[in-house]
Amino acid sequence: MNPGSATGAGFALHPQLAADTHPIGELPLCRVLLMDDARFLWCLLVPRRAGVREIHELPESDRRQLWDESHRLTLAMRAVRTGDKFNLAALGNQVPQLHLHHLWRRVGDTAWPAPVWGTGQAIPYAAATATALCRRLWRQLTDAAAVSHRKAP
């Protein structure tokens, strides 16, 4: 649905991540996904690198790109929906493929102040809502103003 660089050789999204998310788009390193849980504004970055489980397994250039894309995603999410506290995490204890959670939390949300993992049941988005939200996030991610937060390498 969105333009992006070619998928990394041998990369395939883990079936559990595919089942739990809606695709937002492809950044130079990462696939960007929306978690199908309307309780939180919750996105994932998944580097298109086959077989990678840990951030420190990535070469330095990929790590820099990953954190740059994480920063862009954080700002794009903030532009779409205000929140009180950002949560960032790379856990992967259950799904080994490297993926980074990005969430804007709100004081008083259903899990607050606990972390979201393992808290209650996901509430799936209506299909049209998910599509519209993914489009808004992608627009922010590719917006010139958001990209300008990156300095040229």
Binding site for a copy of itself (CB under 8 A): 53-56, 60, 63-64, 67, 71, 74-75, 78, 85-94, 96, 105, 112-115, 117-118, 151
Across the strands, what pairs with 21? 35
Task: Give the residue with the Cβ less far from a copy of itself, 100 or 130.
Answer: 100
Contacts of 53-59 spanning 24+ positions with Cβ under 8 A: 53/92, 53/96, 53/97, 53/98, 54/90, 54/92, 54/98, 55/90, 55/98, 55/100, 57/98, 58/98
Q: How far is the CB of 122 from a copy of itself (least distance, A)?
A: 16
Task: Give the residue with the Cβ less far from a copy of itself, 96 or 120.
Answer: 96
Task: Give the residue with the Cβ less far from a copy of itself, 1 or 54.
Answer: 54
Q: Please, are residues 33 and 125 in contact by the beta-carbon 8 Å criterion?
A: no
Place of tokens 């532009």: 79
Q: How far is the CB of 6 from a copy of itself (least distance, A)?
A: 26
Kind and range of the H or E run holding 75: helix 60-80
Q: Please, are residues 23 and 33 in contact by the beta-carbon 8 Å criterion?
A: yes
Q: How far is the CB of 5 from a copy of itself (least distance, A)?
A: 22
Across the strands, what pairs with 119? none
Task: Give the residue with the Cβ less far from a copy of itself, 11 or 112.
Answer: 112
The CA-based angle 90-44-139, given to 5 degrees, is 145
Task: Give the residue with the Cβ less far from a copy of itself, 40 or 125.
Answer: 40
